[in-house]
Chains A and B, each alone.
Chain A
Amino acid sequence: QQQVKQSPQSLIVQKGGISIINCAYENTAFDYFPWYQQFPGKGPALLIAIRPDVSEKKEGRFTISFNKSAKQFSLHIMDSQPGDSATYFCAPSVDGNEKLTFGTGTRLTIIP
Protein backbone atom coordinates (compact mmCIF):
# COMPACT_ATOMS: atom_id res chain seq x y z
CA GLN A 1 0.00 0.00 0.00
CA GLN A 2 1.18 3.50 -0.85
CA GLN A 3 0.48 5.63 2.22
CA VAL A 4 2.75 8.50 1.27
CA LYS A 5 3.10 10.02 -2.19
CA GLN A 6 5.81 12.55 -2.88
CA SER A 7 6.13 14.73 -5.98
CA PRO A 8 7.89 15.54 -8.16
CA GLN A 9 10.38 12.71 -8.43
CA SER A 10 13.05 15.13 -9.61
CA LEU A 11 13.26 18.88 -9.84
CA ILE A 12 15.69 21.28 -11.47
CA VAL A 13 15.61 24.89 -10.32
CA GLN A 14 17.79 27.83 -11.16
CA LYS A 15 19.84 29.44 -8.46
CA GLY A 16 17.78 32.03 -6.65
CA GLY A 17 14.49 30.39 -7.59
CA ILE A 18 11.86 28.71 -5.40
CA SER A 19 11.85 24.92 -5.05
CA ILE A 20 8.56 23.28 -4.08
CA ILE A 21 8.17 19.62 -3.12
CA ASN A 22 4.84 18.08 -2.18
CA CYS A 23 3.82 15.20 0.05
CA ALA A 24 0.37 13.61 0.19
CA TYR A 25 -0.60 11.08 2.84
CA GLU A 26 -3.62 8.91 3.63
CA ASN A 27 -3.34 8.10 7.32
CA THR A 28 -5.37 10.65 9.28
CA ALA A 29 -3.66 9.53 12.49
CA PHE A 30 -0.39 11.14 11.37
CA ASP A 31 0.51 14.12 13.51
CA TYR A 32 4.23 14.56 12.83
CA PHE A 33 5.25 16.01 9.49
CA PRO A 34 8.99 16.24 8.87
CA TRP A 35 11.18 16.74 5.86
CA TYR A 36 14.55 15.04 5.71
CA GLN A 37 17.47 16.09 3.50
CA GLN A 38 20.01 13.60 2.16
CA PHE A 39 23.28 14.48 0.45
CA PRO A 40 25.13 11.88 -1.68
CA GLY A 41 27.05 9.43 0.48
CA LYS A 42 25.37 10.60 3.66
CA GLY A 43 22.41 9.56 5.73
CA PRO A 44 19.20 11.60 5.78
CA ALA A 45 19.06 14.42 8.32
CA LEU A 46 16.04 16.26 9.68
CA LEU A 47 15.57 19.58 7.91
CA ILE A 48 12.32 20.91 9.31
CA ALA A 49 9.13 19.54 10.86
CA ILE A 50 5.65 20.90 11.52
CA ARG A 51 2.90 20.13 14.03
CA PRO A 52 -0.65 19.66 12.70
CA ASP A 53 -2.02 22.61 14.67
CA VAL A 54 -0.22 25.19 12.51
CA SER A 55 -0.47 25.76 8.77
CA GLU A 56 3.02 27.06 8.15
CA LYS A 57 6.47 26.96 9.71
CA LYS A 58 9.49 28.88 8.48
CA GLU A 59 13.14 28.30 9.30
CA GLY A 60 15.44 30.53 7.32
CA ARG A 61 14.92 29.83 3.62
CA PHE A 62 12.90 26.66 4.33
CA THR A 63 9.13 26.70 4.85
CA ILE A 64 6.65 23.90 5.43
CA SER A 65 3.06 24.53 4.40
CA PHE A 66 0.48 22.15 5.85
CA ASN A 67 -3.04 21.52 4.58
CA LYS A 68 -4.76 19.18 6.99
CA SER A 69 -8.04 18.88 5.08
CA ALA A 70 -6.23 17.97 1.88
CA LYS A 71 -3.83 15.67 3.77
CA GLN A 72 -0.86 17.34 2.14
CA PHE A 73 2.21 19.23 3.20
CA SER A 74 4.90 20.84 1.14
CA LEU A 75 8.46 22.09 1.43
CA HIS A 76 9.35 25.45 -0.06
CA ILE A 77 12.97 26.45 -0.47
CA MET A 78 13.34 30.17 -1.16
CA ASP A 79 16.39 31.63 -2.92
CA SER A 80 17.54 28.10 -3.79
CA GLN A 81 21.31 27.59 -3.75
CA PRO A 82 23.56 24.94 -5.34
CA GLY A 83 24.27 23.68 -1.80
CA ASP A 84 20.58 22.75 -1.54
CA SER A 85 21.06 20.10 -4.23
CA ALA A 86 20.11 16.89 -2.44
CA THR A 87 17.36 14.31 -2.16
CA TYR A 88 14.43 15.34 0.03
CA PHE A 89 12.09 12.96 1.82
CA CYS A 90 8.86 13.61 3.62
CA ALA A 91 8.25 11.18 6.46
CA PRO A 92 4.87 11.69 8.13
CA SER A 93 4.10 9.54 11.14
CA VAL A 94 2.34 9.33 14.46
CA ASP A 95 4.31 11.43 16.94
CA GLY A 96 6.39 9.24 19.21
CA ASN A 97 5.89 6.19 17.03
CA GLU A 98 9.20 4.69 16.02
CA LYS A 99 8.01 3.90 12.52
CA LEU A 100 8.41 6.73 10.03
CA THR A 101 6.90 6.20 6.59
CA PHE A 102 9.26 7.83 4.14
CA GLY A 103 8.08 9.24 0.85
CA THR A 104 9.71 8.15 -2.39
CA GLY A 105 12.14 11.07 -2.41
CA THR A 106 12.68 14.10 -4.64
CA ARG A 107 16.05 14.71 -6.21
CA LEU A 108 16.57 18.47 -6.29
CA THR A 109 19.24 20.01 -8.49
CA ILE A 110 19.98 23.72 -8.32
CA ILE A 111 21.75 25.01 -11.43
CA PRO A 112 23.80 28.23 -11.49
Chain B
Amino acid sequence: DTAVSQTPKYLVTQMGNDKSIKCEQNLGHDTMYWYKQDSKKFLKIMFSYNNKELIINETVPNRFSPKSPDKAHLNLHINSLELGDSAVYFCASSRRESSYNSPLHFGNGTRLTVT
Protein backbone atom coordinates (compact mmCIF):
# COMPACT_ATOMS: atom_id res chain seq x y z
CA ASP B 1 0.00 0.00 0.00
CA THR B 2 2.93 2.31 -0.71
CA ALA B 3 1.90 5.93 -1.20
CA VAL B 4 4.74 6.92 -3.57
CA SER B 5 6.46 4.03 -5.29
CA GLN B 6 9.50 4.11 -7.52
CA THR B 7 10.99 1.44 -9.72
CA PRO B 8 13.61 0.20 -9.87
CA LYS B 9 15.11 0.56 -6.41
CA TYR B 10 18.61 -0.01 -7.75
CA LEU B 11 19.93 0.70 -11.22
CA VAL B 12 23.49 -0.10 -12.30
CA THR B 13 24.43 0.78 -15.84
CA GLN B 14 27.33 1.81 -18.02
CA MET B 15 28.21 5.23 -19.28
CA GLY B 16 26.43 6.19 -22.46
CA ASN B 17 23.36 4.07 -21.83
CA ASP B 18 19.78 5.37 -21.65
CA LYS B 19 17.63 4.46 -18.65
CA SER B 20 14.24 5.27 -17.15
CA ILE B 21 12.92 5.48 -13.61
CA LYS B 22 9.19 5.19 -12.97
CA CYS B 23 7.13 6.76 -10.22
CA GLU B 24 3.52 6.31 -9.20
CA GLN B 25 1.54 7.85 -6.35
CA ASN B 26 -1.82 6.71 -5.00
CA LEU B 27 -2.44 9.71 -2.73
CA GLY B 28 -4.60 11.62 -5.17
CA HIS B 29 -2.03 14.42 -5.32
CA ASP B 30 -1.87 16.74 -8.32
CA THR B 31 1.80 17.71 -8.13
CA MET B 32 4.79 15.41 -8.55
CA TYR B 33 8.52 16.03 -8.34
CA TRP B 34 11.92 14.58 -9.03
CA TYR B 35 14.71 15.29 -6.55
CA LYS B 36 18.36 14.27 -6.78
CA GLN B 37 20.36 13.39 -3.65
CA ASP B 38 24.11 13.27 -4.12
CA SER B 39 26.71 11.34 -2.16
CA LYS B 40 26.86 14.11 0.45
CA LYS B 41 23.11 13.77 1.03
CA PHE B 42 22.40 17.15 -0.56
CA LEU B 43 18.80 17.20 -1.90
CA LYS B 44 18.04 19.30 -4.95
CA ILE B 45 14.85 19.64 -6.91
CA MET B 46 15.04 18.79 -10.59
CA PHE B 47 11.49 18.96 -11.94
CA SER B 48 7.94 19.50 -10.81
CA TYR B 49 4.71 18.70 -12.64
CA ASN B 50 1.23 19.86 -11.77
CA ASN B 51 -1.64 18.08 -13.52
CA LYS B 52 0.77 16.83 -16.18
CA GLU B 53 2.14 20.34 -16.80
CA LEU B 54 5.81 21.12 -16.18
CA ILE B 55 6.05 23.93 -13.60
CA ILE B 56 9.60 23.65 -12.28
CA ASN B 57 12.57 22.86 -14.46
CA GLU B 58 15.78 23.53 -12.60
CA THR B 59 19.17 23.75 -14.26
CA VAL B 60 19.32 20.13 -15.30
CA PRO B 61 21.11 18.80 -18.42
CA ASN B 62 18.64 18.19 -21.23
CA ARG B 63 19.71 14.55 -21.15
CA PHE B 64 17.12 14.34 -18.37
CA SER B 65 13.56 14.31 -19.63
CA PRO B 66 10.57 13.91 -17.33
CA LYS B 67 7.25 12.61 -18.62
CA SER B 68 3.91 12.69 -16.87
CA PRO B 69 1.33 10.53 -18.64
CA ASP B 70 -1.27 11.33 -15.97
CA LYS B 71 -1.53 12.94 -12.53
CA ALA B 72 -0.51 9.76 -10.74
CA HIS B 73 2.65 9.04 -12.71
CA LEU B 74 5.90 10.85 -13.34
CA ASN B 75 8.75 9.10 -15.10
CA LEU B 76 12.32 10.21 -15.59
CA HIS B 77 14.28 9.26 -18.68
CA ILE B 78 18.02 9.84 -18.79
CA ASN B 79 19.97 9.71 -22.04
CA SER B 80 23.70 9.17 -22.48
CA LEU B 81 24.36 8.49 -18.83
CA GLU B 82 27.50 9.98 -17.29
CA LEU B 83 29.48 9.07 -14.17
CA GLY B 84 28.28 12.26 -12.49
CA ASP B 85 24.67 11.12 -12.79
CA SER B 86 25.30 8.55 -10.06
CA ALA B 87 23.02 9.52 -7.18
CA VAL B 88 19.78 8.62 -5.47
CA TYR B 89 16.75 9.96 -7.31
CA PHE B 90 13.61 10.60 -5.30
CA CYS B 91 10.11 11.02 -6.57
CA ALA B 92 7.72 13.03 -4.40
CA SER B 93 4.16 14.26 -4.52
CA SER B 94 1.89 16.81 -2.85
CA ARG B 95 -1.29 18.78 -3.43
CA ARG B 96 -0.93 22.28 -4.81
CA GLU B 97 -2.16 24.13 -1.76
CA SER B 98 -0.77 25.24 1.59
CA SER B 99 2.34 23.28 2.45
CA TYR B 100 1.00 22.97 6.00
CA ASN B 101 -1.91 20.96 4.67
CA SER B 102 -0.01 19.03 2.06
CA PRO B 103 3.67 18.40 2.77
CA LEU B 104 5.86 16.48 0.37
CA HIS B 105 5.54 12.70 0.37
CA PHE B 106 8.68 11.02 -0.90
CA GLY B 107 9.24 7.60 -2.41
CA ASN B 108 12.10 5.45 -1.16
CA GLY B 109 14.44 6.42 -3.95
CA THR B 110 16.23 4.84 -6.89
CA ARG B 111 19.97 4.43 -6.42
CA LEU B 112 21.56 4.95 -9.83
CA THR B 113 25.17 3.84 -10.29
CA VAL B 114 26.90 4.63 -13.56
CA THR B 115 30.11 2.70 -14.22
Interface residues of chain A, those whose CB is within 8 Å of chain B, are: 32, 34, 36, 38, 41-46, 49, 51, 87, 89, 93, 95-100, 102, 104-105, 107
Contacts and interface: CB of A to CB of B under 8 A. Distances in A.
B104 interface: yes
Interface in B12-60: 31, 33, 40-45, 48, 50, 55-56
Contacts of B107: 43
Nearest to A45: B106
A87 B99 CA distance: 21
17 contacts: A36-B104, A41-B108, A43-B4, A43-B107, A43-B108, A44-B43, A49-B103, A89-B43, A95-B98, A95-B100, A96-B99, A98-B50, A98-B56, A98-B94, A100-B104, A102-B44, A107-B41
B103 A46 contact: yes
A45 B105 CA distance: 7
Interface of B: 4, 31, 33, 40-45, 48, 50, 55-56, 90, 92, 94, 96-100, 103-109
A32 B99 contact: yes
In the A-B complex, the 6 residue pairs with the smallest Cβ-Cβ separation, listed nearest first, are: A43-B106, A46-B103, A102-B43, A105-B41, A32-B99, A98-B48
B42 A105 contact: yes
Contacts of A93: 99
A96 B97 CA distance: 5
Contacts of A96: 96-99
Contacts of B56: 98-99
A24 B24 CA distance: 34
Contacts of B99: 32, 34, 49, 93, 95-97, 100
Contacts of A45: 105-106
